[in-house]
Amino acid sequence: MSDSAAHLSITELQRDYRSGKRTPVEALTDVIEAIEKKDPGVGAYLSLESGIALRDAENADVTLPLGGIPIAVKDLINVKGQDCSCASKFLQSAYTSTYDATVISRLRKAGAIPLGRTNMDEFAMGSSTENSGIKLARNPWDADRIPGGSSGGSAIAVANDTAIAALGSDTGGSIRQPASFCGSVGLKPTYGRVSRFGLVAFASSLDQIGPMTKTSEDAALLLSIMSGSDPLDSTSLSDAVPDYLNELNGEIKGLRIGLPVEYFTHGIDPGVRQCVEDAVSHLEKLGAEVIEVSLPHTEYAIATYYIIATAEASANLARFDGVRYGNRAPDPNDIIDHYRRTRAAGFGDEVKRRIILGTYVLSSGYNDAYYVRAQKVRTLIRQDFTAAFEQADVLVSPTAPTPAFKIGEKSGDPLQMYLADIFTIAANLAGICGASTPCGLVESDSGTQLPVGLQVLGPPLGEGTVLKVTDAFEKTTNWHRRPC
């Protein structure tokens, strides 16, 4: 077990492939064994494609940038021939992808192997993966706690060494927050950096696919391959894609780190606060210059987010009607009855709550007061960041105000749950990039150790700088490789 490939990062595994120490089939077999052994306790995976993956591994070309590297895929990214359920009962065993998402075709071209599908909050709506319509997920550090969400399964798999790397998606923190709760690295790219074609949409103006990895090096490597303009996604950016990995030189001397004052006044858990303050001091020791910045419209971020995201979601999820795919309620009286019963049975409570909220805020007579106004506030939030990035190269904060909470602790109180995303949501509204990397452990009241994430936000297309900071931090602290 100690020699299992499952605990390796992408770059480590590549080294082994190239030195001839392991073959892709051996490595993949290790990962599958680790999943079989460890996943039943945590529920990171919804399904595995071992057969196809092993065949791909046999033919892998390890000279390719990601040759023979298995990747776990969040269950809302289309992989041709595989079920894509978005952890929803509506799609479970009732929709098989007929096409590859652009990120999947790019990763395949680079030699990567899609291995299996990871658990999540249904349609990415949630912060704990408790909204999975298929399977309960548990935090690998403390089985009584949630892994975060919505990309909970991907975060667990990476932290639990049942994946080399994974893909997540981030609409309001869905990559960064579970990465923080599980002790993995997660990056949300700038809006438009990575094509959304093939990502099942939750909120189209906020969604981004991003890497969830063991190191920032791996995130950089994956990002270089996933990024770039896509003729199938009109919102993808055409800016040239740097070799992010090559730019990681550990050098952050003189870099200006901004601490948003508004982010340090909210009810942050004292242990989390301590970890983040220590991390900031550490970055200062590495030569960074720390200043305070202000994001004055922070207090409106959550309300703004829940108007825009739910409005978009109410339309995005309308296609799930059981006419062309999905599970249908039997024997409808008429088409309206069909819609009502199919959607009532297919969607979970949180999805219904958001569709109703989104439908309401777009309704005639309320549209101006909610949706139109929220768009205006969104502009103000974006301007906050533009101003802050004139003073600082990156912004640093806790990724979440608390460590992972208990299963069921907040599921009865949606507003408390929404607050778990308070530090991550604004980045999606502003369209900027950000990462979370482990920066410490706190002891829970039940005596378990729980990871804490450090969030580093960068300006649009500032992924290189963000990764430079998280990479420099990782290489001098090693919080990111603590076994759970």
Partner 1 sequence: MDYITTIGLEVHVQLKTQSKMFCACPAEYGVQPNSNTCPTCLGLPGALPVLNRRAIEYTVLAGMMLGCETPPVSKWDRKNYFYPDMPKNYQLSQFDLPLCLGGNVPLYAHCYPKDAQKDIARPEQLIGLTRIHLEEDVAKSTHAAGGTTIDFNRAGTPLMEIVSEPDIESPEEAFAYLNSLRQILIYGELSDADMEKGQMRCDVNVSVRPQGQEELGIKIELKNMNSVSAVRRALHYEIKRQVEVLKSGGELVQSTRRWDDDLGETQQMRTKENAHDYRYFPDPDLLPVRTGEIIEKMRSRVPELPHQKASRFVADFGISDYDASVLSSDRDLAVYFEAAAKDSAAAKKIANWVINNVSALLNEHDIGINDCPVTSSKLSALVDLVESGELSNNQAKEVFSALFDAPDAEPDALARELGFEPAESGEIEAFVDEVITANPGKVAEIKAGNDKLINWLTGQVMKASKGKANARQVGDLLRSKIN
Buried b (16+ CB within 10 A) or exposed e, 255-294: bbbbbbebbeeeebbebbeebbeebbebbeebebeeeebe
Catalytic residue among 132, 150, 154, 169: 150
Phi, psi dihedral angles at 50 (to 5 degrees): -60, -45
Per-residue binder mask for partner 1 (CB under 8 A), 22-61, x = binder: ----------------------------------------
Q: Which of 339, 406, 409, 465 binds partner 1 (CB under 8 A)?
A: 339
Report residue 412 as tokens: 């009865």
CB of 196 to partner 1, least distance (A): 7
User: Toward partner 1, which CB reaches closer, 321 or 409?
Assistant: 321
Tell me how crowded residue 82 is: count the other CB atoms within 10 A of its CB.
20
CB of 356 to partner 1, least distance (A): 13
User: Toward partner 1, which CB reaches closer, 7 or 196?
Assistant: 196
Report how far apart, in Å, the C-alpha atoms of 352 and of each of 198, 238, 318 are: 23, 36, 11
Specify whether 169 is catalytic. no
The single-letter code of the amino acid at 133 is G
Residues of this chain, 200-219, that bind partner 1 according to CB under 8 A:
200-201, 203-205
> What beta strand segments (E) does 16-99 contain?
45-48, 70-74
Of 163, 172, 156, nearest to 30 by C-alpha is 163
Catalytic residue among 174, 180, 195, 436: 174
Q: Which of 19, 234, 238, 333 binds partner 1 (CB under 8 A)?
A: 234
Q: How far apart are CA 252 and CA 289, in angstroms?
A: 9
Specify whether 376 is catalytic. no
Count of chain residues binding partner 1 (CB under 8 A): 44
Specify whether 174 is catalytic. yes
Q: How far apart are CA 204 and CA 221, in angstroms?
A: 25
19 binds partner 1 per the rule CB under 8 A:
no
134 binds partner 1 per the rule CB under 8 A:
no
258 DSSP β-pair partners: 291, 395
In 436-479, where does DSSP find H-type helix?
A: 463-477
351 binds partner 1 per the rule CB under 8 A:
no
Residues of this chain, 69-98, that bind partner 1 according to CB under 8 A:
76-78, 84, 86, 91, 95, 97-98
User: So which residues are the catalytic ones?
Assistant: 74, 150, 174
Residues that bind partner 1 (CB under 8 A): 76-78, 84, 86, 91, 95, 97-99, 101, 196-201, 203-205, 231-235, 311-312, 314-315, 318-321, 323-325, 335, 339, 359, 362-364, 367, 371
